[in-house]
Structure 1
Amino acid sequence: MTDLRPLDQLLAGARAPLGPHIQLDLGHDTGPLAELAELLTRVNGFTAFNAGVQVFRAGAAGLGAELGHWNGPSTWKDTYTGLADGLFCFGQDLFGCQFAIADNREVVVFDPETAERTPIGAGLDDWAVWLLEDPAVRGAHQFATAWQDERGALEHDQRLIPLQMFTMGGTYDFDNLVAKDAVTCMRVRGPLAQKIHDLPDGAQVHLMADRAPAATPGSKQLAYAELDVFADYNSFMVQDETARFEPDRAWTKALITDLVAARDGVIGVGTARRTTVPVILDVRSDAPDDNFDGWDHVTEAGLHVESGSVIVSMLDYTDAVPRTAVPAGDYKARVYAKGFATVSTDGLHGDDLYHLVLWPGNIRQPQVLKRYPDPLPGG
């Protein structure tokens, strides 16, 4: 049986420090903030459980997130519009769950997708006990080891984020996770937390628009799917399941200029945000009408579906990506986009929506039917 206090036991297996020695004063003589100042004066930041847990360093030099900057309102907390108020975050786990001190009274875990706060204890030793009781899960030790064994070491400024959010049914499969800048991971999830924070358990989350493009009389819906799509590099692709395509310079230029590009079996859709966006795939027997009121940008292209199955993703063909069954054949495709003016200047959060309507018809070259007149807020 060890005589070490829990925090010392945690440090015994840590990799430290992440920054040079600093004499830290957080303005409190008692409480968990005083304990944090003492800890970082002793060891200026560290990782534990094979980077499953990270405690931020303080000061200008060092690795990973800096304590003061991380807690600045414009770093990521502004995307939570008050839901993170009163929290001083001092670390995070592999998936961006924040370890935080609430009002210098208690240590909590802050869930980045729901903004829920789970109390752990009155101080940092309670936090250390909580981690050490189940390091495989609470410290993400087992997952961090497996991920890095297969995908390589994480940078100190990276965390993992799901392509389909956990609260939206996403899994912990490797195919549903990507390593991204830790700040980006938080800013991406802030708007989601705003929408679901006050919902009761089991409530449905509606991220889609209320109004769909109007159908012509007699049109039948052949397939329909509401999807959350990771639009890496401000784009995603709609394609026949068997189609494979590597973007080239012309493709990228078309997406930047017109927000639409096409190749055999593939349509590219440009987006205002470079994160997870809501996409509606709507397959009909006839064309929608030509009323574009309420939509910011409307494009058209054509899609050949050979396999009878369509996927919407960004160069991701894994089993984790949903498939939508559609009749095989040639389709005209129209992409309606809205909400561009709501997108933040960093291109990470907003209320943009992409509604893709397919209907049987001859393949046509990509064209813009209605162009958004202003530069996209995300740049």
Structure 2
Amino acid sequence: MTSTDTSPLAQLLDAARGPLGPRIDLDLGHTDGPLGELAQLLSTLNGFTVFNAGIQLFHAGPTGLGPELQRWNTPSTWKDTYAGQADGLFCFAQDLFGRQFAITGNHDIVTFDPETADRTPIGTSLEGWAAWLLADPDVRGAHSFAGAWQDRHGPLDHHQRLIPLRLFTTGGGYDDDNLVAKDATTCMRIRGPFASTIHDLPDGAQVHLMPDQPHTTDAGADGTQIAYAELDVFADYNSFFVQDETVRFDPDDWTMPLINDLIAGDNGVFGVGTARRTTVPVILDVRTTAPDDNFDDWDHVTEAGLRTTTGRIIVSMLNYTPSIPRTTIPPGDYTARVYAKGFHTISDDGRFGDDLYHLILWPGDIHPPRVLKRYPGTLPGG
């Protein structure tokens, strides 16, 4: 590659910032095909960023800035969370949001979507990859967006990418409130289980983000369980509501109780305060009898009540669209107890964590909202 070479890859290199690692003579086991091209490229410029770091090509070797090529492709780094959906990919670069650029079989270059695990062919050479990027740097390389975001928030570390708090595939947007800079490996591992779950599902199918079945001592194995649902609830403003699907109400007066007590309610509708303002795992567990009063495994326990005339329950942030799942139970009045845990896992910015909200309902009186066990600490992030 010479300064007079006007090939797409040469144009990309002219705009690049690098190297990200020291000089290396790289051998990837091939002298031709995309792997041969990649070895030659990294032996010339060992890693770089381009388009205001909207695109990052990994460096090779034990020292350098950002992810290292071979380690990035080790299954235990992040691919193991994709349940086989990332097998056969040799990822060599990524965009601002962690979309991977990968070589398959040393003959094709594809994009790999971290939220869906979908692969999209874009060429058969690095020259083709560079031409594809240069055809639309703002859309394919996040050029303008990367520059504008870093102007507002400061430069990204070479190990960081942006991840949405509410995933793009579940309706999340590109606004500042929904994006956070996070270690690139962590970004991939967060989305792996979700992608492996939805990859082969038809459009419109209901999916769940909850990684593990929670431990409960009396979850209805004796036939006492009426209904059970594992839900992923977008807790905008650090809260969500449990209600009959036909009820409409104004929760403005509930703001302080939801902040202070993580519970509020009136007239057979109740709201739950959460430790994070993002999608959180919620168990809706409806039984014929009350649960026990052992709160040892829980950080915060509250109680309220629910009245349903239709027997169709929604758990959401004032979202009544058909996409919100309905749980069917017998109409009537229910006592509701909310068990919450995992508060010690919440990140300092209050955005990430392994918190869980287990809602147990049983036929009974509608209690005024009350705290049965209070979390003794202050939640991170506020």
Tell me how far apart the structure 1 counterparts of residues 179 and 22 of structure 2 sit (CA, whole Å). 32
Tell me how far apart the structure 1 counterparts of residues 370 and 256 of structure 2 sit (CA, whole Å). 18
Q: How does 1:8-27 map to 2 (within 5 A)?
A: 8-27=10-29
Q: Shift of the alpha carbon at 1:332?
A: 7.3
Aligned-residue sequence identity (percent) comes to 55
8 A Cα contact 2:98 2:114, kept in partner: yes
Identify the match of residue 186 of structure 1 among 161, 185, 188: 188
Instruction: Describe the superposition over 1:69-114 as per-residue Cα deviations: whole angstroms up to 9, x where unpaired.
Output: 1000100000011111110000100000000001111110000011
Residue 100 of structure 2 corresponds to which residue in structure 1? 98
Q: How does 1:1-379 map to 2 (within 5 A)?
A: 4-207=6-209, 226-228=232-234, 243=255, 262=261, 277-279=280-282, 289-291=289-291, 297=297, 299-301=300-302, 322=317, 333-335=337-339, 354-356=357-359, 360-361=367-368, 363-366=370-373
Tell me how far apart the structure 2 counterparts of residues 146 and 360 of structure 1 sit (CA, whole Å). 50
Q: Shift of the alpha carbon at 1:66?
A: 0.4
Give the RMSD, CA atoms, in angstroms: 4.2
8 A Cα contact 1:49 1:141, kept in partner: yes
How many residues matched? 302
Tell me how far apart the structure 2 counterparts of residues 337 and 126 of structure 1 sit (CA, whole Å). 50
SS at match of 1:175: helix
Cα 1:332/1:202, change in 2 over 3 Å: closer
Cα 1:130/1:187, change in 2 over 3 Å: same
Q: Shift of the alpha carbon at 1:353?
A: 5.4
Instruction: Describe the superposition over 1:114-143 as per-residue Cα deviations: whole angstroms up to 9, x where unpaired.
Output: 100000100100000000000001001111
8 A Cα contact 2:262 2:274, kept in partner: no
Q: Name the amino acid aligned to 1:136.
A: D
Q: Shift of the alpha carbon at 1:262?
A: 4.7
8 A Cα contact 2:301 2:337, kept in partner: yes
Pair member with larger Rg: 2
Cα 1:155/1:276, change in 2 over 3 Å: farther
SS at match of 1:205: coil
Tell me how far apart the structure 1 counterparts of residues 127 and 6 of structure 2 sit (CA, whole Å). 11
Tell me how far apart the structure 1 counterparts of residues 57 and 118 of structure 2 sit (CA, whole Å). 20
Q: Shift of the alpha carbon at 1:243?
A: 4.9
Cα 1:36/1:276, change in 2 over 3 Å: farther
Q: Shift of the alpha carbon at 1:349?
A: 11
8 A Cα contact 1:300 1:332, kept in partner: no
SS at match of 1:161: strand
| Structure 1 unaligned regions, length at least 5 | 215-224, 231-235, 248-260, 304-311, 313-320, 326-330, 339-347, 369-379
Q: Name the amino acid aligned to 1:364.
A: V
SS at match of 1:8: helix
TM-score by length of 2: 0.66
